[in-house]
Amino acid sequence: MKTINILLTGMLLLLICSCSRFLAEKSDSSLTIPETLADNQAMLDRYHILSSNATSGEVSADDLYVTEADYMTMPNEADKRLYTWQPDYVSLASGNDWQTCFSKINILNTVLFNLSQYHIPDADNVKGQALVLRAAYYLEASQLWTQAYHPQNAATQKGMPLRLDPDMNIPSVRASLKDTYAQILADLHEAVHLLPVQQIAVTRPSKVTALGYLARTYLYMGDYGNALKYGKETLTNYSHLMDFNTLNPTASYPIKEMNTEVLLPTSMGYSPFLTSTKGKVNPSLYESYHANDLRKSVFFKVLPTGEVLFKGNYSGNSGRMTCLAMDEVYLTVAESYAAAGDAANAMAVLNQLLVKRWKTGTFVPFTAGTGAQALQIIRSERRKELLFRGLRWADLKRYNREGANINLTKTVGGQTYNLPANDLRYAIAIPEDIIRMTGMPQNER
């Protein structure tokens, strides 16, 4: 018994010493504070985390439909409500687009805070990358949860909560739509002067990436003068396009990942409505492609049932991509010329893109007599080119802002659902649990 007591006493002393040493150690969080430039670059290089974008806009738009049989198999009621433009409860309680968006923004805020807090030298490149990504995610979020930008009333319209600090204790308050876009533009303009023209990896935003996002932002705002300016500056620095004549249209996925057009490769998150077999293309949209337009065979697979599936992802596989790419920049420049009434230059830029999409020797350049005619042609080609890229929802909003009067209709289970032009539901409902936690006002219905 005396021997046992001695052993127990020794073990207790060892345990106390071990605990004392453990309590004297720094916590894991203090050990992993990214105080070096390499640490913060590593945070931005977590591509699998920072590249996943929202699905809500694509599910809500008119580029896809699902059959009634597939609709009935959808596992989440929130997804079904989103698809049919219900006014509320269109997001899951967790793992939703809002949560994904702001978790990424928090990472970027953390990097920007670290660079400033620890006075990290030679940080321009890393800072510029973080600013581009933060702007990109706020721009995407604005297309989902706010109304279309109107310069006349943007100061009074609800925008996004502008969280620019990683401190999670700071309350979320919705800024105006004007201030939201001002922050996006400020981040991008600053980044342009910090970044190299090109990076060692396409997953890192470059000056060209920042310019491309500036062109997209101004296009969404209806500021065609600046959209043209920054779109042309993008093309001055980088103008590569794929020639679809070099692709194999019989391949399961003819377009390679990280191809020469991609400026920043981002992907859509998962939604059962967007899977490669369930999200189908409207037959009338498929038929709008000319027989010599190679996109018709590169982008689509026609099933024996006549249903059309999309395979033209810029991912090289079944994953949907939301990447910023050169084809979008060409279309932005063309549209901006057309909006200014310059039909000749608008068609010239559009034709530079389309000649790479048609079978060699068959393309007849498009012509237009007026800016309005050019605009109609370009917007039709924009839809055909940027299918399943997460852009259609934003395009519908801005077209309707300008009087396009596009009304959407979906039929499920014998019931027809309508979304009129400029409907308040174009600003998707913010998740109800976020509203409860923050006290922010919900989007009007």
Task: Decide if 347 contacts 366 (C-beta within 8 A).
Answer: yes
Q: Which domain holds residue 42?
A: 37-244+263-276+401-438
Cα–Cα distance between 27 and 272 in angstroms, integer? Answer: 41
Question: Where do we find the tokens 């991008």?
Answer: 188
Q: 66-73: which pairs have CB atoms within 8 A and are 24 or more residues apart?
A: 66/273, 66/278, 66/279, 66/280, 67/278, 67/280, 67/307, 68/412, 68/413, 70/278, 71/412, 71/413, 72/413
Per-residue pLDDT of the chain (445 residues; tens, 9 = 90+): 344 444 334 444 443 344 333 333 333 434 467 899 999 999 999 988 999 999 999 999 999 999 999 999 999 999 999 999 999 999 987 789 999 999 999 999 999 999 999 999 999 999 999 999 999 999 999 999 999 999 999 999 999 999 999 999 999 999 999 999 999 999 999 999 999 999 999 999 999 999 999 999 999 999 999 999 999 999 999 999 999 999 999 999 999 999 999 999 999 999 999 999 999 999 999 999 999 999 999 999 999 999 999 999 999 999 999 999 999 999 999 999 999 999 999 999 999 999 999 999 999 999 999 999 999 999 999 999 999 999 999 999 999 999 999 999 999 989 999 999 999 999 999 999 999 999 999 999 9
**H or E segment at 409?**
strand 408-412
**H or E segment at 286?**
helix 283-287
Which CATH number covers residue 44? 1.25.40.390
**Would residue 387 count as lying in a domain?**
no
**Would residue 29 count as lying in a domain?**
no
**Would residue 354 count as lying in a domain?**
no
| β-bridge partners, 6 | none
**Would residue 236 count as lying in a domain?**
yes
User: Looking at the 3D structure of the chain, how many domains does it have?
Assistant: 1
Tell me the residue ranges of DSSP E strands in 168-318.
174-176, 262-264, 267-268, 280-281, 300-302, 308-310
**Would residue 176 count as lying in a domain?**
yes
Q: Residue 203's Cα: distance from chain center in Å?
A: 14
**Would residue 293 count as lying in a domain?**
no
**Would residue 326 count as lying in a domain?**
no
**Would residue 340 count as lying in a domain?**
no
Phi and psi at 60, nearest 5°, equal: -80, -25
Cα–Cα distance between 183 and 98 in angstroms, integer? Answer: 18
**pTM: predicted TM-score of the whole model, two decimal places:** 0.92
